[in-house]
């Protein structure tokens, strides 16, 4: 509304304790009112004398703000008439009668948003209490036991001599020294023979799944997925429009025969053979051979996520699936998120030779390699012997933490929750009575600052008993009893008779 005395600037609020100059605050707020439509195009502003009195500003402060607004076309100063909002802003404000419309997203974006919301809407990192930052969540390592003094020394080594190697864009495949360290490690630990050129560094396993999906799959292609299975990989393939074929897990691992019956011409199979995620089964040698034979006959691909392979507490693990494949149909994905720490955002893919160049082409379009500084530090950590020593220490520590939490759970919830020790990995499964809704329970426990995941989240088809994934790696032995008590109390508050 235009007024003879000029539009009032009643919405302007100046903070005289702020480090932002007053003229700048006035400029920003008037500009915002014009852009939002609160000050319509053509509106006359009060005289500078009036505004100075109303806002408690000096005339020079006011003129500095108005000069900026005039120079940018927001205000128009007319000799003898006053100062007006520029005419080009007439009718530019939002129409209050129209409801705000959601943004137009691509089909891929809508799929990702929907899938992500479905599986993770119940968890909020912001809600975690400081005294129990991970509670019983799986896949979290022992942050309190990370060798930070060694890591800081290695980081500082590179920061003291900054240059292109540390501060540049880096190689598409990743730092060669890190790839050399990975080649040496996987040969020794997983029986994998590969060249440095077959290794590509990624920003964790999640990026690897997405890039591999883009590389190998078209919308409508069928993918064999373990059921229950890896949520992040499942979402990556679903978002690309693929048809997931859920295959059950038995005592030997992925049921390949079910896959051959239901969808023999699948384009890709995703598996976690070293330690099935989340059930913990190790795929038998015979079942591994079945899977490789299928890939060879059908020209399909196998993505092997070597989940938690570093942390085995009983016996030795079988060689990686990749190491058993003479036809180069297996793609191996590894990560440093659990063995070091998740925010490092470093993983790697070991590719068949025929896939190296096309994978790197997609990688170059989608992203650069991760931080060269972090890659160089990780390479030093591995090549100087710290990596294997850290794995050995963590393996012993996690075995102790598992035993302490297991004892506490049996003591607090033994008549309600069935839980047994695991031979590998960072979590156990607490099996619940058949009538309990594990998804509702996990979401309800969040309200009592107890954090875990429901087994249902990992399932495409519901055929297993309900359960909770109970992480033990991030729970110090001295806190095991407290965590078990918190879980039991949370269940009681939700009305369960435990």
Burial class (CB in 10 A: 0-12, 13-18, 19+), 42: middle
Do residues 181 and 385 make contact, with C-beta atoms less than 8 angstroms apart? no
Q: Would you state the pLDDT for residue 130?
A: 55
Domain layout of the chain by residue ranges? 22-89, 122-142+389-493, 148-384
The pLDDT confidence band at residue 5, using thresholds 50, 70 and 90, is very low
Measured between alpha carbons, how far is 433 from 429 in angstroms, rounded to an integer? 13
| Residues whose CB falls within 8 Å of the CB of residue 456, separated by 6 or more in sequence, listed in order | 438, 439, 462, 466
Do residues 168 and 488 make contact, with C-beta atoms less than 8 angstroms apart? no
The pLDDT confidence band at residue 100, using thresholds 50, 70 and 90, is low
Residue 389 phi, psi dihedral angles, 5° rounding: -65, -40
Do residues 445 and 452 make contact, with C-beta atoms less than 8 angstroms apart? yes
The pLDDT confidence band at residue 128, using thresholds 50, 70 and 90, is low
Task: Say whether pLDDT at 3 is over 50.
Answer: no
Task: Say whether pLDDT at 443 is over 80.
Answer: yes
**pLDDT tens figures, 140-184:** 999 999 999 999 999 999 998 878 777 888 899 999 999 999 999
Reply yes or no on domain 22-89 having CATH 3.40.50.300: no
Q: Determine the average pLDDT of the residues in 92-110.
A: 67
Lowest average pLDDT, out of 30-44, 60-74, 342-356, goes to 30-44
Q: Which 3 state secondary structure label does DSSP give 11?
A: coil
DSSP H or E run through 109: helix 107-120
The pLDDT confidence band at residue 99, using thresholds 50, 70 and 90, is low
Q: Which of 144, 125, 135 is nearest to 472 (CA)?
A: 135
Lowest average pLDDT, out of 48-62, 108-122, 212-226, 342-356, goes to 108-122
Q: Which of 425, 407, 409 is nearest to 417 (CA)?
A: 409
Token pair in block for residue 244: 């997931």
| Residues whose CB falls within 8 Å of the CB of residue 416, separated by 6 or more in sequence, listed in order | 432, 433, 491, 496, 497, 498
DSSP H or E run through 428: strand 427-431
202-240 in b/e burial notation, b at 16+ Cβ within 10 A? bbbbbbbbbbbbbbbbeeebbbbbbbbbbbebbbbbbbb
The pLDDT confidence band at residue 192, using thresholds 50, 70 and 90, is very high
Of the segments 25-34, 158-167, 283-292, which one has the largest average pLDDT value?
283-292
The pLDDT confidence band at residue 119, using thresholds 50, 70 and 90, is low
- Domain 122-142+389-493: top CATH class: alpha beta
**pLDDT tens figures, 239-279:** 999 999 999 999 999 999 999 999 999 999 999 999 999 99
Measured between alpha carbons, how far is 118 from 113 in angstroms, rounded to an integer? 9
Token pair in block for residue 180: 């050399």
DSSP character at residue 479:
G
DSSP H or E run through 90: none
Q: Determine the average pLDDT of the residues in 17-27.
A: 91
Is the whole-model pTM more than 0.95? no
Q: Would you state the pLDDT for residue 391?
A: 96
Q: Determine the average pLDDT of the residues in 31-49.
A: 85
Q: Which has the higher per-residue pLDDT, 54 or 410?
A: 410
Token pair in block for residue 288: 């591994």
Burial class (CB in 10 A: 0-12, 13-18, 19+), 335: buried
Q: Determine the average pLDDT of the residues in 336-353.
A: 96
Task: Say whether pLDDT at 401 is over 90.
Answer: yes
Domain 148-384, second-level architecture: 3-Layer(aba) Sandwich (3.40)
DSSP character at residue 354:
G
Measured between alpha carbons, how far is 405 from 136 in angstroms, rounded to an integer? 10
Cα distance between the two ends of the chain = 66
Task: Say whether pLDDT at 34 is over 90.
Answer: no
Measured between alpha carbons, how far is 271 from 248 in angstroms, rounded to an integer? 11
Q: Would you state the pLDDT for residue 357?
A: 96
Q: Would you state the pLDDT for residue 2?
A: 41
| Residues whose CB falls within 8 Å of the CB of residue 258, separated by 6 or more in sequence, listed in order | 247, 248
Greatest extent of the chain over all pairs of C-alpha atoms, in Å: 93
Question: Helix crossing, 480-493 with 386-413: angle to 10°?
Answer: 40
Alpha helix stretches (DSSP H) within 191-284: 204-216, 231-239, 256-262
Q: Would you state the pLDDT for residue 92?
A: 62
Of the segments 36-40, 112-116, 132-136, 318-322, which one has the largest average pLDDT value?
318-322
What CA dihedral angle connects 186, 190, 191 and 193, to 10 degrees? -30
Do residues 450 and 135 make contact, with C-beta atoms less than 8 angstroms apart? yes
**pLDDT tens figures, 413-436:** 998 999 999 999 999 999 999 999
Q: Would you state the pLDDT for residue 296?
A: 96
Measured between alpha carbons, how far is 282 from 272 in angstroms, rounded to an integer? 8
- Share the mean pLDDT of the chain: 89
118-124 CB contacts, 8 Å cutoff, 24+ apart = 119/231, 119/235, 119/457, 122/442, 122/443, 122/446, 123/446, 123/451, 124/446
Lowest average pLDDT, out of 95-104, 381-390, 409-418, 429-438, goes to 95-104
Q: Give the angle subtended at the CA of 429 by the CAs of 427 and 435, to the nearest 5°.
A: 155
Give the count of beta carbons closer than 10 Å to the beta carbon of residue 118: 11
The pLDDT confidence band at residue 11, using thresholds 50, 70 and 90, is confident
Q: Would you state the pLDDT for residue 109?
A: 74
Task: Say whether pLDDT at 50 is over 70.
Answer: yes
Task: Say whether pLDDT at 121 is over 50.
Answer: no
């Amino acid at each position: 509304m235009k007024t003879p005395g000029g539009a009032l600037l009643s919405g302007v609020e100046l903070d005289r304790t702020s480090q932002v100059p007053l003229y700048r605050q006035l400029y920003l707020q008037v500009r915002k009112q014009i852009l939002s439509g609160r000050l319509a195009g053509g509106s006359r502003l009060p005289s500078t004398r009036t505004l100075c009195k109303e806002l408690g500003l000096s005339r020079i402060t006011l003129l500095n703000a108005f000069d900026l607004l005039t120079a940018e076309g927001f205000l128009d100063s007319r000799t003898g008439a006053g100062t007006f909002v520029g005419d080009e802003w007439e009718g530019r404000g939002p129409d209050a009668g129209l409801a705000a419309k959601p943004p137009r997203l691509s089909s891929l974006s809508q799929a990702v948003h929907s899938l992500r919301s479905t599986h993770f809407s119940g968890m909020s990192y912001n809600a975690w209490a400081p005294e129990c930052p991970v509670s019983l969540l799986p896949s979290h390592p022992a942050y309190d036991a990370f060798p930070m003094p060694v890591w800081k020394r290695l980081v500082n080594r590179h920061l003291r001599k900054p240059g292109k190697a540390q501060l540049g864009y880096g190689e598409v495949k990743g730092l060669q020294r890190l790839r050399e360290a990975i080649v040496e490690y996987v040969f020794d630990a997983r029986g994998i023979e590969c060249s440095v050129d077959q290794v590509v560094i990624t920003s964790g396993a999640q990026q690897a799944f997405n890039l591999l999906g883009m590389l190998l799959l078209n919308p409508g292609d069928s993918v064999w997925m373990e059921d229950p299975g890896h949520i992040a990989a499942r979402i990556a393939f679903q978002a690309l429009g693929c048809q997931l074929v859920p295959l059950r897990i038995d005592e030997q691992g992925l049921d390949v025969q079910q896959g051959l019956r239901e969808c023999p011409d699948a384009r890709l199979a995703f598996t976690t053979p070293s330690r099935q995620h989340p059930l913990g089964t190790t795929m038998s040698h015979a079942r591994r051979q079945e899977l490789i034979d299928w890939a060879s006959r059908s020209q399909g691909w196998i993505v092997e996520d070597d989940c938690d392979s570093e942390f085995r507490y009983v016996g030795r693990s079988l060689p990686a699936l990749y190491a058993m494949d003479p036809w180069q149909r297996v793609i191996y994905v590894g990560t440093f998120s659990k063995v070091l720490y998740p925010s490092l955002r470093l993983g790697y893919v070991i590719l068949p030779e025929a896939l190296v160049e096309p994978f790197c082409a997609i990688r170059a379009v989608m992203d650069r390699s991760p931080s060269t500084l972090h890659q160089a530090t990780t390479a030093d950590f591995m090549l100087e012997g710290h990596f294997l020593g850290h794995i050995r220490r963590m393996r012993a520590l996690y075995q102790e933490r598992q035993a302490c939490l297991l004892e506490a759970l049996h003591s607090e919830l033994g008549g309600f929750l069935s839980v047994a020790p695991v031979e590998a990995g960072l979590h156990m499964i607490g099996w619940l009575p058949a009538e309990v809704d594990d998804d509702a329970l996990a979401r309800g426990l969040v309200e009592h600052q107890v954090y875990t995941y429901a087994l249902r989240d990992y399932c495409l088809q519901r055929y297993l008993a309900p359960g909770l994934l109970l992480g033990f790696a991030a729970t110090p032995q001295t806190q095991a009893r407290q965590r078990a008590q918190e879980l039991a109390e949370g269940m009681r508050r939700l009305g369960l008779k435990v």
